Each structure stands twice: as structure tokens, then as C-alpha cells.
A and B are shown apart, each in its own frame.
Chain A
Amino acid sequence: MGIVEAILLSVITAATPLVLAAAGELVAERSGVLNLGVEGMMIMGAVCAFAATQLSGSPYIGVLAGIAAGALFSLLFGFLTLTLVANQVATGLALTLLGLGVSGMLGESFLGMQGIKLQPIAVPLLSQVPFIGPLLFRQDAIFYLSIAIVAGIHWFLFRTRSGLKLRAVGDSHGSAHALGVDVIRTRYLAVLFGGACAGLAGAQLSLVYTPQWVENMSAGRGWIALALVVFASWRPWRVVAGGYLFGAVSISQLHAQAFGIGIPSQFLSSLPYMATIVVLILISHNRRMTLINTPASLGKPFVPDR
């Protein structure tokens, strides 16, 4: 395996959790819910995936546990913001802090344990293709899932009636309610999906990226995922493009150090956020496209007047 392949492989591994978490958050935001708790849901997914893998011996059980943990944690967010109509921003921040704390507590007994890595699955024939084969078709299940999920989200949002309803809820929840769409139910499902994706992203961290449990191992990836959704202007495939770009930037920190290139790592780790700001400035020039893609009732609480 050449150096280029090795670098690209590491980029894919670094980008996958970003793509997953951002794709999930994209669905939640398309329904009008701003869940800033991605980091918290991710770390809960990571610790539960690791613990379940250790206890059961199967990383696949771990993956399921990660998904369940993220979804369950997002359910708490949904209950607070959708049923009790708490402020979404404050609740999301609290969820992140809670997740970081609870995961540290749950993971204490697993610290320093040797992890079980999720093994790659080679796709017959395709994995034999030179260069592309080892890169894209000798990957773990979570990578395949991440691409399938983005494709599925695109199809769901723009080709199905349920996806249309979800976009309608995010655009104007009052009108959607008047048309008989169940706004709260739609948002619960979107938030749950977002949580499940964030949990899966966390499982990738503790089962693939670095198969062990370290406190705070999500290391701000949840925040990058949030930035990524805006960067992608709420379009699913742009999440993949942006995710791989941000993944490449974060990997370049390591490679730059290895090659002794004197760029401060702090500068490199701030790049995704700077890139998001630049993209925001660029897209805000085309106001019409922004308005058509941005969920207009993002972050606004919905209370039916009954």
C-alpha cells in the first residue's frame, strides 16, 4: 500500500463519523429542530458501543448499542424541546455537557481496555479493482452504511411524500399543521434519526477509528458536524463532500506533524470552522438559493393553538 492510499484511507476513516453525524443532524434541521447536542449523543454512542462490544464480544452488538444510545439520548432532547417546549439551543448545549459527563462515568471501568475492532468487509470483485478496491470496497460496515444513509436521506427528502412533509414542517410548521401534518411526531422521528446517526458516528470512533475508550474521545467532532450541515446548505450529498474535506483537513494535522511541516496544529484544527464561515459568506450572496434550502422555522418551537 502506497503512501497516497494510506493517507486517503485515513481521510475516509476520519470523515465517516463527520458525515454520519452531520447527515443525521441535517434531517433533524430539515424538520426545523436545531439539536446542538450532537457531541453529547456521539460520545454516548461511543461509550455504549465500546462497552457493549466488551461485554458481548461482538462489535456488531456494539454498533447497535451505539445507535440505541444516541437515539435514546436524543429522545431526551425531543421530550424537553418538543413536548415541554424548552429552548432548543439551551437544551442542546445541556445535552452535550450531560453526554460528556455521563459517558465519562459509564466508561470509567473500560478505560485502558484493549478494544475489538470492527473488521473490514471485502466486496467480492470490486475489492480487486486496483487502487479503488482497497480504498472503497475493503471497508468496515459503518463506512458502507454512511454512504447508504446519505443516499437514503437524499431519496427520502426529495422523492418521497414523507420527506416532502418533513421539509414542509421545517419550512413552516404552522402551515404544515393546518394541512394536517403531525408536526410534533415528524420532529420526534427526525430528532430520533439524528440521534441514531450521531450514536452510530460515536460507535465508529470507539470501534474503528481508535478501537478503545478514551474520555472525551469525540474531541469536538459533533461541533464540526453541526458546522458541516450549514456548510452543506442542508443538501445531503454536499455533507459527504464537506465531510471528506473536513476529514482531510483534520488528517493533514497528523501528516503535517509527521513530515515536520511547521503549521501550528491549532490553526489546522480551526480550519473547518473558518471554511464554514467562508461558505456562509459565499452562499449568503445568493439569497434566493439560501432561502429555498434553509429550513425557515429552524429552531422555532411549535405549540398548536388548541
Chain B
Amino acid sequence: MPVKGQIASGPLLAVSNLTKLFGSFAACDAINLHIEPGEIHALLGENGAGKSTLVKMLFGVLAPTAGEILWMGDNVRITSPGDARKLGIGMVFQHFSLFEALTVAENIALSMDRSISLARVAEEAARLSRVYGLPLDPNAHVADLSVGERQRIEIVRALLQNPQLIILDEPTSVLTPQEADRLFETLLKLKAEGRSVLYISHRLEEVQRLCDRATVLRHGKVTGACDPRAETPASLARMMVGNDVAVVTPEGTSTTGDVQLEACHLSVAARTPFAVSLKDVSLKVRAGEVLAIAGVAGNGQSELFDALSGEYPVADDNAVQIRQKPVGTKNINARRLMGAGFVPEERHGHAAVSSLSLSDNLVLARNQSDRRAFLGGGFLKIIRQGAVKAAARRISAAMDVRKSGEDPPAGSLSGGNLQKFIVGRELDRQPAVLVVNQPTWGVDAGAASRIRQALVDLAKAGSAVLVISQDLDEIFEVATEIAVISEGRLSDPYPARELSREKIGLLMGGMHGKTEGAGAAHAH
């Protein structure tokens, strides 16, 4: 095993002192890294550590400010993705770079430099997808495909170039555990063929299972290079975060309270062709518990949030009940007035207006529910700036929101800090019912731990908390009970202690307790 700093004979790719500046901010600061032929190399780091910036430079999407890239010992300048592909570097993006309006074959043809007919591309794609166990229909429109299928297109597209190095950016964040297992098989097959893989992730378990070596980034710098199998998750996490992250447990929550939030046979038709319809969803959240809803993205989570929050009221008033009162046809403000709080998935443009200040965003969310505190002048409804600013300060202090200045625009905060503010904005009201969709998506570990602890604390204080999340680690940290959503159907709830990851994975794939036997044939 080569030691850090000592370059073994003939690395496939070596990077020395690679730096990328955005203004005066160093997204990547003198990165050194080398990848051997036939190894799976992990690039570990939190959001914003510089992983994506680094691979964008390797793939020619961003131009480095300084430093060198050596490919098979030669100093190369990669100025476009075409250059990278010619060298033999393939890339599977985190946010898929697919064209929804085009077919699978057309999408694949786009990344081919040579002029081959579409029919040939389709044939070749079909052959590769068989060899690597990635079933695909070349003539399907991408818009109609699931996330897992879309990722297969990206992988087949990269493989068609016959690359020596394949870069995967957070590939499992959108997959069920079973789909992830299949991906790992494919990657091991590639490794056996002598190809190298650069595997970007923040999931320590996967990295330990799959990768031969790891390079850890923090704040744009390399903070460690190691054999992940020789490390513990705690030691890897310390390299990533810089200090120990507080562990959150659902200890102290219970399911003995009164039902505060209920959905009864909630069915909602899909609003758009790419939306999912909700089918007969029933759930109960009791005071003092956290019910977590697990599931792969795009299985009805946002539709469920819309129906529960009243962003899109439903036809049947009884289908949603808050504190035992029917609210199905009521809008979000009416539900807030009944003591409920809601945190949607998208921070920018949904939970917050990026260009407005934090205090303005506070008034936007709570001008009805807290009108006595925030609005004055009778029917004129003049904003009481002092009261609003004080509340914004209180929230920032309670959630440790780090910001520049007293009342900066929401868009100037980092993702984690803005998310802390948005969750804090609801917690500050001490809602009896809180519904949160993807509470820590794209948030660094420190902020995520803080937000999760706040959710558990709220339940312990006697509120009913519903968390919708794709992150199984998060779910096990906060949940008293867990239900799984798949294709718009919700499973029965299970006590979190009794549920294994494997069982959740099967439920995610569509095998429901309710529809025994029928779901087993649901192959994606």
C-alpha cells in the first residue's frame, strides 16, 4: 500500500497542487491525489468540501487556477469534457446530465464523438447494458424513467467510451439499498477488467465496503489519504468533519400520546405527467413521536407533503386531520393557525426567497400564524420590524445559524445554515404538529446533527413530528416509527428498533405488508 506523498510506479492519474479559486475563495486548495490502475478510489468529504469542483476539473468542465494533472505520466490540459473522454475518463454526474425530452439512445449518442448512426448506438447500448447487468430500453423517453434507470443510462453512456477511469459522483444517493448492491457488482466487474473508479461519497459504510483507498477532503484541502478498511467510521468522520459529530438518537420519544396528525385513505391524482399519485395513504402521528417516512426520491414524497401541508388541498376534508379536526380542504395558513408547522424540501424558492432578508422570510411564513406579534396598525397590517428582527435573532441563536451581518439575504447563507434557520423558524412557534420534507438534504454533518437533535427534542417536548427523508442514517437517528413510501403507497408503520435496513430496502422496492405477494414482481 503506497504511503501518502510517495507516488508508486505508473499511477493512472496523478494530480499535484491542483487549485481552483472562485474570486478569493479556494474551492480546491493545492490538492494532491493519485489513482492506480484497477483500483476503486474513494473521494470523501462533506458538502462543500470541494469534491465536485475537483472532479469537474478532472472532467474539463471547470478550468483549474493552478496545478497539474498527469495522465499515465503525461502532463495534460483538459479543457473540455471531450478532451477528458478522448483520454479515457468517463463521468457519471450526481445531478444527471440527461435530456428529458430525448430518448435513451439519443442521450447516449450525444456523448459519442464519432459519427455512428442512432441505430448502432442503440444496439451497442443494449449489448453493454446486458454485459454489465443494467437493463435499458433505448427508445424510451428519459422523462418517463425512474431515477435508478436514469443512472443506468449515465453509466452505459460512460462505458460506451471504453474509459480507463470512471468517475461517479454520489451515485447511491438516489438508489434503494438493493439497487446500490447491483451498482457495486457492476463497479467490481469494471475493477476486475482493470479499469479504475473514482468514487465520490460521504457514506462511510459504502466506502469501507467497496473502495481500496480513500482521499479525504475538508474545506478544499486534503486532510487524509488512507485505506478505508483499516479505519473506523468514527476516524473517517473525524477526517471529514474535523471534529466529532454529536450522535443523535430517538431515545425518549414514544408512541403513547394522542393522535395529532392523521391521514385517512388519502388519495391524490398526479398533477403533472412526472408526478406520482398517492394511493390510499393512511398514517397517524402521535404527540411525542417522530414518524419517519423512508423511500427513494420520486415515489410520492413531495405529493404527500403537499397534501399534508395544504399547499395543494385535497377534495376530501376528512382525508387529513390535524388535532382530530378535518383540514383536507383547508389551505396551508389555516393549518398553521391550528398549530401545525411545515418545512418543504427546496430551500431556495420554496422555503425561502433567496433575495429577501431572513427577517422578511420570517414574516412571509408566519404573517398569519403570528400576526399579533409581527403585524401592527390594525387593518393596515404594518410589519413590526423590531419584533420580527428580534424573532430572527432568537431563531439564529437557538439554531446556531452562522451568517454575515445582522439580517443578510437568505441566499447568502450556506445550505446548512439556511436550513437551520428554516427549521428554526417553525420550531420557534413550538408547533403541536411538524411536517418536514428532507430536513438535511445537502447539509453538512454538523448542521444535520443539530437539525436532527432539534426534531427529536420537539417530539420529546410533546409534539407530533413527521419526517420525510431519503437518508436511512437520518431516519434511524430520529425515528420512533418508520413507514416506507413506494409508488405513492405507504407501508404500515414499524417500530424503528425492529426494522432492519434490508427490510426497508424491500419495502422501498414496492413489497408492502398490505399487498402481500403482489409486490414481489415489482422489478424496476
Q: Measuring CB to CB, which residues of chain A are less than 8 angstroms from any residue of chain B?
A: 161, 164-165, 167-168, 171-172, 174-181, 287-288, 291-296, 305-306
Contacts and interface: CB of A to CB of B under 8 A. Distances in A.
Interface in B79-97: 80-82, 85, 93, 96-97
Nearest to B144: A288
A180 B143 contact: no
Nearest to A304: B61
Contacts of A175: 96-99
A180 B85 contact: yes
Contacts, number: 67
Nearest to B113: A180
Given A171-B102, A172-B97, 17 more contacts: A167-B101, A171-B100, A171-B101, A172-B100, A175-B99, A176-B110, A177-B61, A178-B81, A178-B93, A179-B97, A179-B111, A180-B85, A288-B143, A292-B141, A293-B101, A306-B62, A306-B63
Interface string B40-61: 0000000000000000000111
B31 interface: no
B9 interface: no
Contacts of A287: 272-273
B404 interface: no
Given A287-B272, A292-B141, A161 B109 contact: yes
B357 to A, nearest CB: 26
Contacts of B59: 178
B143 A291 contact: yes
Contact of B101 (A165, A179, A291, A305): A291
A172 B82 CA distance: 18
13 contacts: A165-B110, A171-B100, A174-B97, A176-B99, A178-B61, A178-B81, A179-B111, A288-B144, A291-B101, A292-B101, A292-B141, A292-B143, A306-B63
B143 A178 contact: no
A293 B143 CA distance: 12
Contacts of B144: 288
B36 interface: no
Nearest to A159: B118
Contacts of A171: 99-102
A284 to B, nearest CB: 11
B115 interface: yes
Nearest to A162: B115
Contacts of A292: 100-101, 141, 143
A178 B55 CA distance: 12
Contacts of B100: 171-172, 291-292, 296
A165 B112 CA distance: 11
B29 interface: no
A287 B63 CA distance: 39
Most buried by B among A161, A167, A176, A306: A161
A168 B80 contact: no
B331 to A, nearest CB: 24
A292 B103 CA distance: 10
Nearest to B84: A180
A292 B143 CA distance: 8
A181 B273 contact: no
Contacts of B60: 180
Of the listed residues A161, A174, A180, A306, the one surrounded by the most CB atoms of chain B closer than 10 A to its CB is: A180
Interface string B61-89: 11100000000000000001110010000
Contact of A164 (B82, B85, B106, B272): B106
Contacts of A181: 110
A223 B274 CA distance: 33
Contacts of B80: 180
A179 B81 contact: yes
A72 to B, nearest CB: 30
A164 B111 contact: no
B143 A296 contact: no
A164 B110 contact: yes
Which of B59, B96, B97, B111 has the largest count of A CB atoms less than 10 A from its CB?
A: B97
A305 B99 contact: no
Which of A288, A293, A295 neighbours the largest number of chain B CB atoms within 10 Å of its CB? A288
Contact of A178 (B97, B102, B274): B97
B104 to A, nearest CB: 13
B462 to A, nearest CB: 44
A176 B80 CA distance: 12
9 tightest CB-CB pairs across the interface, nearest first? A175-B97, A180-B81, A180-B82, A288-B273, A171-B99, A178-B97, A171-B101, A287-B273, A292-B101
Contacts of B102: 164, 167-168, 171
A178 B92 CA distance: 11
Contacts of A293: 101
B62 A305 contact: yes
A177 B82 CA distance: 10
A165 B61 CA distance: 17
Interface in B132-175: 141, 143-144
A168 B106 CA distance: 9
Most buried by A among B85, B96, B101, B144: B101
A9 to B, nearest CB: 39
Nearest to A292: B101
Nearest to A177: B61
A296 B101 contact: yes
B109 A164 contact: yes
A165 B96 CA distance: 17
B62 to A, nearest CB: 7
Interface string B283-327: 000000000000000000000000000000000000000000000
Contacts of A174: 97
A184 to B, nearest CB: 13
A165 B99 CA distance: 11
Given A161-B115, A165-B110, A172 B143 contact: no
A213 B63 CA distance: 53
B110 A179 contact: yes
A27 to B, nearest CB: 16
Contacts of A180: 60, 80-82, 85, 111
A99 B82 CA distance: 40
Interface string B227-256: 000000000000000000000000000000
Contacts of B115: 161
Contacts of B63: 306
B197 to A, nearest CB: 19
Contacts of A168: 99, 102, 110
A228 to B, nearest CB: 21
Nearest to B59: A178
B436 to A, nearest CB: 29
A296 B99 CA distance: 9
Contact of A172 (B62, B81, B99): B99
Contacts of B99: 167-168, 171-172, 175-176
A291 B144 CA distance: 11
A116 to B, nearest CB: 44
Contacts of B143: 288, 291-292
B25 to A, nearest CB: 13
Contacts of B101: 167, 171, 291-296
